[in-house]
Structure 1
Amino acid sequence: MSNAAPASYPATPRTTPTRARERARYDHETVHTILDTDYICHLGFVSADGAPVVLPTLYTRVGETLYMHGSTGSRPLRDAAEGLRVCATVTRTDGLVLARSGFHHSINYRSVVAHGTAHRVTDPEEHRTALDAIIDRIVPGRSADCRPATAKELAQTAVLRLGLEEVSAKTRTGGVNDDAEDLDLPHWAGVIPVTRTLGTPIPDPDTPEDLPLPTYLRHLLRS
């Protein structure tokens, strides 16, 4: 009998859409691929005074765990030592869908929503490893090419850990879904692709002129 982890996350009431259910995906491959194409998530929670809060923050995925960056001075992250119920979301926009009617305008997108209880990372080794992984999520290879954080800097930086257990992806692809009676209207319709590209690196003024661009950056710019 195989002890391998299931290939999909279980659907729950919180991860089952009430509309367009056919766009929902629960397989690990889809969820992981979306998470691994970005580095900013939005972290939602309810503060101690009962107010809803949503914060943008850096993140990375390591296996079945999301690590999210924060400040130790943040009250929510202090509260997370005992566990903080959160909802983390990641969204990538792939295209603007312009229909002949205003009602059918849409966006092609890929998104992930993860629910659960996040905890602050307190183990020093896991803390440092998670921060290096967040840096490498932004630019692969960068953590080995910068000064490591000092003990003081580590003390000022918090990391939240959220296990990927109650998770779903939702995507929209394809073209315009106009009503048949609108197809002859004299309005342009179609999809405008949205892409993200990296520009030419701009050296800091204090960078020596003879210091070459690191190999990992050259590879990143060619990808």
Structure 2
Amino acid sequence: MTTSNNETNQQLTPTQRSKIKRIPKRGNYETQVIYNILDEALICHVGFIANNQPFVIPTAYGRVDDKLYIHGSPASRMLRTLDRGIEVCVTVTLLDGLVLARSAFHHSMNYRSVVIFGTATLVNNTEEKSEALRAFTEHVIPQRWKEVRQPSKQELEGTMVLSLPLTEASAKMRTGNPIDDEADYDLPVWAGVLPLQRVAGKAIADDRLVAGVEVPDYVKNYVRNNGLRERE
């Protein structure tokens, strides 16, 4: 993830598509809330229609300021389709906990999610494409880009990058305890929240790793912390 020094929290104006209609009190249109969720998650799902057939494709992404970047091979059906300028819907979800109620009906989940609408455009500028690839790498694991070999000219030319503006988006979240019917609170059934979190395991070295190369600290201490990583 890359941010500029002048990035400020703004309130997006809800559109007919981005406005939260079911349980609107859970909705949020602040850019910083949306960015934090995007910066913590790793995978987005891209929905689009091609040849009258709906598709939803999971993929990695990166954010630079108010743009979301998606990349891949020019042979990718998704990227070739989006390059035509069709409308897309991109979703990201973080699952924070299972909400166990006293009744089966009121079980739920605590989550943070973002839905983005818009039209993706092809990135042709070499400098912007390189910055997007850096954003992908740093989004997955911060501090990695400055250590690895940079993409060659051939690799850059062989990679398609699409940009999606983060101007029509909304966040939706649920937090807190289960909400039971008043008559059910006296039932002798355990109720509460079972927190869930993503935890990295011990790093496994590649079989062909050069002798003497140690695991970097940023790998050993890897965490996803609500998108509040140190900014560059």
**Structure-1-length-normalised TM-score:** 0.91
Structure 2 segments unaligned to the other structure (5+ residues): 1-6, 226-232
Separation in 1 of the partners of 2:77 and 2:84? Answer: 12
Counterpart residue number, 2:21: 18
Counterpart residue number, 1:31: 34
Question: Post-superposition shift, 1:144?
Answer: 1.8
Counterpart residue number, 2:11: 8
**Pair 1:166 & 2:168 matched:** yes
- CA-to-partner distance for each residue in 1:118-174, whole Å, 9 max, x for gaps? 012111221121011101100111122222223333333221100011110000000
Counterpart residue number, 2:80: 78
Say whether the 8 Å CA contact 2:45–2:59 is kept in structure 1.
yes
Separation in 2 of the partners of 1:39 and 1:222? Answer: 9
Say whether the 8 Å CA contact 2:178–2:192 is kept in structure 1.
yes
Question: Post-superposition shift, 1:6?
Answer: 7.3
Separation in 1 of the partners of 2:109 and 2:198? Answer: 15
Question: Which amino acid in the other structure matches residue 175 of structure 1?
Answer: N
SS for the counterpart of 2:83 is: helix
RMSD value, Cα:
2.0
Say whether the 8 Å CA contact 2:98–2:194 is kept in structure 1.
yes
SS for the counterpart of 1:142 is: coil
Counterpart residue number, 2:100: 98
SS for the counterpart of 2:102 is: coil
Counterpart residue number, 1:44: 47
Aligned positions of 1:140-179 closer than 5 A: 140-179=142-181
Which structure's residues are more often helix, by fraction?
1
Say whether the 8 Å CA contact 1:132–1:143 is kept in structure 2.
yes
Question: Post-superposition shift, 1:10?
Answer: 0.4
SS for the counterpart of 1:145 is: coil
After superposing on structure 2, the runs of 4+ consecutive aligned residues of structure 1 that deviate more than 6 Å are none
Q: Percent identical across equivalent pairs?
A: 44
Separation in 1 of the partners of 2:75 and 2:211? Answer: 38
SS for the counterpart of 2:16 is: coil
Question: Which amino acid in the other structure matches residue 159 of structure 1?
Answer: V
SS for the counterpart of 2:34 is: helix
Structure 1 segments unaligned to the other structure (5+ residues): none
**How many aligned residue pairs are there?**
219
Say whether the 8 Å CA contact 2:113–2:171 is kept in structure 1.
yes
